[in-house]
A and B are shown apart, each in its own frame.
Chain A
Amino acid sequence: MISRIIHSEAVPNILLPATPDLIWSSVVFVILLTFFWFRVLPNFKKTLDARTDAIEGRLAEAERISAEAAKQTAAMASAQEDSRAEAAAVREQARAEGVAIIAELKEQANAEAARITATAKAQIEAERQAALVSLRAEVGTLAIDLASKVVGASLQNDKVATNVVNDFLADLEGGKQK
């Protein structure tokens, strides 16, 4: 068998490439290299990149939405807080106003009371004066009548009579004061 191999000139060395072998290998290699380089891999990468972008984009979108929701929640909470504060302010103001109204009413009532009291006092004074005047007139007439009867004299002269009465009365008042 060994001799057969040695003597058969057709069997080449297994380690040395024949020219057609190299040529066809190169053709296959170059065609496939070009194919992968410019056709398969760019499209492959594009698809993968687009997918990565899409996934990242969706994640970012979700993040954005959740941030927005958080912002809205915060806004709602602050609005609630505002309205609560406003309500408290209104309540406070109403309370203050109530107090003011009560104070005013009280003052008005006081003033009214004072006025009524003053009026009453004035009326009483006026009545006293009237009573005094009427009393004086009456006392005068009585005294004249009395004196007329006592004196018998005609004290019809008004001027004299009036002077007498007045003197009398002045005496009376003076005596009362002493």
Chain B
Amino acid sequence: MLLSNALNLAATMAGLSASDGFEPPTIGEFFPDAVFFAGTPFALNRIMLIRILIMVVILVLFSLWTSKFRKAYKNQQFVPSRFQLMGEISLNFVRKTIAHEQLGEKDGDRFLPLLATTFFIVLGMNITGIIPSLNIAGTSVIGLPIVLAVAAYFTFIYAGIKKHGAHFFKLALIPEGVPVVFLPLVFLIELLSTFILRPVTLALRLTMNMVAGHLLLVLCFSATQFFFFSSIVEGFTKAFGAGTFLFGFVFSLFEILVAFLQAYVFTLLTTVYIQLALADEH
């Protein structure tokens, strides 16, 4: 509601109103009609199809890289080809820069499957927001961020319990050195922040970034369309279209940055949560 209000406001500020033939984007953007299996729990709309497409792209790309790895291993060929090196750099970004940096080599490699999967899913799904003809991020509908956040949630709880047993909850909820008077309050705050807000913020941060990015781009480009081609706009006013187009172009570039950044942030936070669960003190 708030979001559509804001958009309405933006449209009004641009000197337009909905009745003038300009269609500002709505959150309906994120709920397109089902293409296949409509009405069933397996209904596939455009965004779900984009997700499956990206999944296939990731499967193909990493299969190619994996076969390169296998071949290199089999032939004892230790100088990677350029293509293989790209795969190594991608995977090492997650492995070294995120996992090893936060968790150390042993635990880093232990949790690498989840972290790598999370990173490449989020990155792949984010980037579709600016790919022409796809034009919407696979992560802009909350289902996928929720699945990833839940996976992160259970993983860090698993990591904590595996390391500390039931003691993990005491470590997480009752920090040492807190005066007894404040303990109930601290307990509540820790409970809220660790076990409720963490997954919620993970999922929301990602979704809202993608939603906002998408709406901004749609707003810019549909305004451009309106200024250039609407019969209501005449003469000099059409020049506004160039401005909105430029704005949209710059924001497209910005969205690339956001796509990488959000993938990095999501994975890094997952790692940090695991690291905190493994730590001996909080």
Contact = CB atoms under 8 A, between A and B. Distances in A.
Interface of A: 1-2, 5, 8, 10-12, 14-26, 28-29, 31-33, 35-37, 39-41, 43-48, 50-51, 54-55
Given A32-B121, A40-B91, 5 more contacts: A1-B26, A2-B8, A14-B3, A15-B204, A33-B151
Contacts of B211: 14
**Binding site of A, secondary structure by majority: helix, strand, loop or mixed?**
helix
B26 A5 contact: yes
B4 A5 contact: yes
A16 B28 contact: no
Interface in B1-58: 1, 3-5, 8, 18, 24, 26-28, 30-31, 34, 37, 40-45, 48, 51-52, 54-55, 58
B1 A5 contact: yes
Given A5-B4, A11-B26, A36-B62, A29 B144 contact: yes
B43 to A, nearest CB: 4
Interface string B145-170: 01110010000000000000000000
Interface residues on B, range: 35 or more
B120 A32 contact: yes
Interface pairs A-B: 7 shortest CB-CB? A21-B143, A37-B113, A25-B144, A17-B143, A25-B143, A20-B43, A47-B69
A17 B47 CA distance: 13
22 contacts: A1-B26, A2-B8, A5-B1, A11-B26, A11-B31, A14-B211, A17-B143, A19-B41, A21-B144, A24-B143, A25-B143, A28-B52, A28-B54, A28-B55, A35-B58, A35-B117, A36-B117, A44-B69, A45-B109, A47-B72, A47-B88, A54-B78
